[in-house]
Every structure is written in structure tokens, then in C-alpha cells.
Chains A and B, each alone.
Chain A
Amino acid sequence: MRLKREDLIFALLALATLASGWLGEGAALQGQHLGTLATLAVLGLSGIKGAMIALDYMELRHAPAIWRRAVMGWLMVVLGVVALASLVSTG
């Protein structure tokens, strides 16, 4: 059976989710804050997952630019705010 693009995206989404869980596991078990690099990595993975869902699953890659920019802009702004607030609080 030929692997389709949406199958590959699903595999990447699952792998990125497991990677995020693995990054957060240490801090969760020890009751500590997630470090700066791990926080950035988790948010980066969220951005990649969100972009794959928006561009490939929602098919915004081929949609009018205004919709693509609105959703991708929302994702970047939200993750940026979370990064700023999280890193200030842990830094």
C-alpha cells in the first residue's frame, strides 16, 4: 500500500507529540520547571504540529493567502506570547 502524504503527516504529528511528552516528563516527575531550551523545543514542536495541521490537513497551503496568513499568524502570535511569558517566569 502506497504511503500518502496525510499518512506521513499523521506519523510526524504522533512522533512530535511523543517527543514533547518525553521533554516534559522529567520536569513533571521531579516537580520542577521546564528549562529554557526544553520550553523552546516544546513550543517549536507545537508550531510545527500546528503548521502541519493548518497547511496540510486544513489545506491552507492552497487556500487564499488571507486565510493562510490569518491562521499561521495566529499560531505564531499565540506561541510567541506563551514563550515570552513562560521564559520570563522561569528565567
Chain B
Amino acid sequence: MVWLLVLAELLTFGLLFASFAVARRLQPGMFAQGQAELSLSTGVLNTLLLVAGSWAAVRAVRSFEADHRASGGRWLLAALAGAVGFLVVKSHEFLGKVQAGFDWATNTFTLLYTLLTGFHYLHVLVGAIVFAVLWHKARQGAYSQSDHMGPISGAVFWHMVDLLWMVLFSLVYVIR
């Protein structure tokens, strides 16, 4: 079931990525101006937080596979920390933009930037909630070597969020 969700999400974001790339080709000046106001170092930091979360999620699944339940719980907490770290950094970026008078409806760039990063932000938020629930259940001993489908599905969802960001980071923050 989670794989159908993954494919639907990939297709949706794929359309948004293509829209951003094509719109930038058609309106290079507008996009250059908009992207010049984005912090590359913030994008790098957020990428590192996401991949750290993915790494922790994999380690959590491996721990449950080996029936190391306490270790699995700790790795889920580490994955949650990566997700929360991303949300804090991204919220700071959004807040700074709002305080600087950013309006999502100003032009094509602001619209696509808001759609792409805002939509992705919501997915990270969902991922953080999923990790929090999984961690809580792991502390109650809900997962074992023979029953850890929850952490597997949560990890797959998070890896998809990570995969999407690999394209988003290059497209929006690096290639100008």
C-alpha cells in the first residue's frame, strides 16, 4: 500500500519539478532574482538533516530485524530528531521570507517555490509525526523481529521524502 502512495507522490512532485524547470527556462530573469534570495547553506544543512534521518530510519529497521528492540527505538528517536531539525531550519527560512515581505502570489517563481517547498514541508511534518508515533509504540514494545512492518513502512515514506528533496535541492537551491 505504501508503494502506491510513493508512486502517486513521485508523479505529483515530478509534474511540479518539470513545471519549475520549464518556467525558469521561459522566465530566467524572474527565477534568477528569486533564487538569489535563497540561502544555499540552509539548503545544504537541510539536505544533511534529511539524509541523517534516512540513515537513522534504516538503522532502526535493521535493529528490529536483529530483535534489538531498545536500539530500534533509539534509532527511531534519532530519525525524529532529523525530521524536527529540518522543520526548525525550514520554518526559520519561511519566517525570514514572510518578515521580508514575501508573497507567494507575486509571480511564477514565488508560486512554484511555495508549492514545491511548502508541499514538501508538509510531507516532512507527516514523517515527523509518523516517527514520533513509531517511537512511542517501540517504547511500549510493539515491534519485534517478526513484527516490525510499521517501522518499515515509516522508513519507506521517509526515504521517499528524502528522494524528492534530492531533486528539489538541486533544482531550487543549487542550479541557478
Contact = CB atoms under 8 A, between A and B. Distances in A.
Contacts of B40: 21, 24-25, 28
Given A6-B55, A10-B51, A34-B175, A58 B159 contact: yes
Q: Would you call the interface of chain B mostly helix, strand, loop, or mixed?
A: helix
Contact of A21 (B11, B54, B174): B174
Contacts of A25: 40
Given A71-B10, A78-B14, A85-B24, A57 B32 contact: no
Interface string B46-63: 011001101101110010
Interface string B108-145: 00000000000000000000000000000000000000
Contacts of B169: 17, 20, 46
A74 B166 CA distance: 13
Interface residues of B, number: 44
Instruction: Bin chain A's interface residue count.
Output: 35 or more
Interface string A43-85: 1011001100110011000000001001100110111011011
B51 A14 contact: yes
A21 B44 contact: yes
B40 to A, nearest CB: 5
Given A21-B40, A34-B176, A81-B21, A49 B3 contact: no
A73 B21 CA distance: 18
Contacts of B171: 82
B41 interface: yes
